[in-house]
Structures are given as structure tokens and as C-alpha cells.
Amino acid sequence: MVQLDEKMYFYLLFIIPVMTVFFILLQIWKKRTQKKFAHLPLLKKLTPDKSDFKSTLKFLFLILGLAFLTLGLVNPKIGTKLETVKREGVDIVFAVDVSKSMLAEDIVPNRLEKAKRLVSEIINQLASDRIGIIAYAGQAFPQLPITTDYGAAKMFLQSMNTNMLTSQGTAIDRAIELATTYYDDEDQTNRVLFIISDGEDHSEGATLNMVESATEEGIRIFTIGVGKSKGAPIPIKRKGVVESLKKDSQGEVVITKLNEDVLRDIAEDGNGEYIDGSNTEAAVEFIKEQLNQIDKKEFEAKQFAEFKDQFQWFLAAGVLFLFLDIFVLDRKTKWLKKLNLFNEKTD
């Protein structure tokens, strides 16, 4: 396993394409200027030791040197010791609504971003619980299977958007059905499902039936409502700018509202609680208290216990290439000229 300590230094790699463009433009300018000065055969006679290849080679050394130095600053670490550790926790699955109604901006910046922030803050409060993530709209999609890798969970969470599922609508029953497949440990009885949504459900009857099936498998269902009861229109944006508002078949602007009743019914039938997500801090604190009251199940997990720095190898390679860039000359090397590796020998 590889860890990267300082990922921010990766931004330095953007210098390389900029330098490459300048180098190409410089070579084009040189060629044009030389043609104005004299014809190519005459230039070769005037500068017989000038190498056409060395300038590109020197630039390649410079680019490689900068790339390896950047990787050295990032400080990659390699896991050297894999241990099996015993942990206690709860299996938690987050089902996040990614339907178009989650773009409503009655909660800043919008309902979906609020939902993602809530999940992220809940993850920050966890210690050794296993988590999974589901995205759902008209269908449900497994975003992340049960794992203890919270970093990966946050990465997948941030990539979620309303365009990831082509089937629109809100089918909470599909999310619950998919969630039941996440709890693959038969011995794990402490199973929790969080449904984060504005409560719009196009399959309400099927949802309650699925809730009943889930509770029979020992799954407690909590619901978190995001949005306002008074509702808001759904903006249609292009490059971050609102172009219009979503309208129905009659041409009327669609107003999407938080349906707390649906979410309360699901939580009540699922042996859980409904949580108002408008106040992130209060919601996360309440969830933390609820999870602390649930008995923890012991399970085994493999993790890397020791990591060793590898930056020195990259720094050494970077310095080596920079030295090569300095000491390799633009003119032809006599012994290389004899070998004619670069087809520079003239008749």
C-alpha cells in the first residue's frame, strides 16, 4: 500500500506541460530564424559539431528532474508490514439521494452538497466502524462496498452528483434493497442504514414493504431530511450559471418540497429515528449518541502498520537528471559521433 504525505505538491507538475509548450515554440522560432539566415546545408557546414538531438535530450532530462523532485516532495510511503487487527464497530451504510430534486437550493449551497457534508461529518466521528455508500435516484447504484477505509469513502462521496444515474425519480425501496446486500457478515447483527434524502418517494408502498424486510434482517434504518418544507425550484445550470428552472409537462415551474412524513414513517417502521439535517452539528451529535448506544461487534481487519519514506529515491533521481541536463552539451560528442547512435554522421 502506498501513502502520499503532501499531495498538494502534485500541482507543481502543471509546470511541465507549460515548459513543454514553450520549448516547442522556441524550437519552431529557432528553425524559422535559421532559415532566414542561411539554407540548411550551409548551416550544417558552418556548425558541424551542433547536435540536433542534444537540445531535446537536455530538455527531457530537465523535465524528468523536475518530475522526480516533485514526487520527492510528495513523499510517497510504502507499507512494509501487514497486520491483522481486531476492531469493534457497527456496519453502517449511507444511501444518498442523487435525484434532480437534490439540486434545489433551499439549503445552501444545495441539498446534495448538504447531504454529502452530513455524511462526511458523520464519518469524521467514527472510530472503527465499517461503512458503505449507495447512490440512488430511480435506481440504486453501489458507490462503495463495506470498508474501513474512511479516506476512500470521502473520495467516492465527493464524486457523487445528479448525473451519475440516468434513471431519474426517487425509489427509496431500491436503495434499501441494495443496502441489504452490503451486510455480508452473517455474524454482524449491528447493522445501520442512513437514508439521506428530501423525502420524495415515487414508490412509497414498495418502500414500506422493503423496510419491513430489512428490519427482519436486523437492519435499523435512520432517515435524514435535507431541504425545507416550503420547497424550492430546481435550477438547471450550465457551467455554474442558472439558465432556467425545471418545469413540468404543463410548463409550470416544479417546486420540490421536503417530505418529512415519508422519512418519519420509514424511520419509525425501521426501528430508527428521523433526523432533521438542516443543522449539521446538531444532527451529527445526535447520530453520534445513537451509534454509541448500539453494541459493537468484534471483527478482524487487515491494515498496514508500518510505512517507510521513499522520497530519497525520487530526490536522488531528480538531482541526477538535473546534473545530466547541466553537463550534457549541445554539441556532438566525439565518441558518440563515431557510434552514430542518433544518425548524425554526414557523408
What is the pTM (predicted TM-score) of this model?
0.65
Strand partners, 141: 135
Q: How confident is the model at residue 234 (pLDDT cuts 50, 70, 90)?
A: very high
Q: How confident is the model at residue 347 (pLDDT cuts 50, 70, 90)?
A: very low
Give me the residue label for grid cell 447520530: 287
The CATH classification of domain 89-302, taken from the options 3.40.50.410, 3.30.310.50, 3.30.565.10, 1.10.10.10 = 3.40.50.410
Give yes or no for a cis peptide into 109 (omega within 30° of 0): yes
- The answer to whether 3 and 77 have CB atoms below 8 angstroms apart is yes
What is the DSSP secondary-structure string of 103-146? G--SSSS-HHHHHHHHHHHHHHH-SS-EEEEEEESSSEEEEEEE
Residues 110-126 have a mean pLDDT of 95
Least confident stretch, 10-14, 57-61, 104-108, 203-207: 203-207
Q: How confident is the model at residue 251 (pLDDT cuts 50, 70, 90)?
A: confident
pLDDT number for residue 84: 63
Task: Tell which wins on pLDDT, 223 or 170.
Answer: 223
How far from the centroid of its chain's Cα atoms is residue 5's Cα?
A: 17
pLDDT number for residue 18: 92
List, in order, residues 6 or more apart from 57 with CB less than 8 Å away: 328
Residues 255-283 have a mean pLDDT of 94
Strand partners, 290: none
Residue 112 reports pLDDT greater than 90: yes
Helices (H) and strands (E) in the chain, counts: 11, 13
208: its cell numbers: 414500506
Residues 132-145 have a mean pLDDT of 93
Residues 222-233 have a mean pLDDT of 95
| Cα–Cα distances in angstroms (integers) from residue 258 to residues 107, 160, 203, 225, in the given order | 11, 21, 16, 7
Residues 226-249 have a mean pLDDT of 88
Task: Tell which wins on pLDDT, 41 or 195.
Answer: 195
CA 227/CA 250 separation, integer angstroms: 25
How many CA atoms lie less than 13 Å away from 342 in the CB half-sphere? 16
Residue 242 reports pLDDT greater than 60: yes
Residues 270-297 have a mean pLDDT of 92
pLDDT number for residue 304: 52
**Domain range annotation of the chain:** 2-75+310-339, 89-302
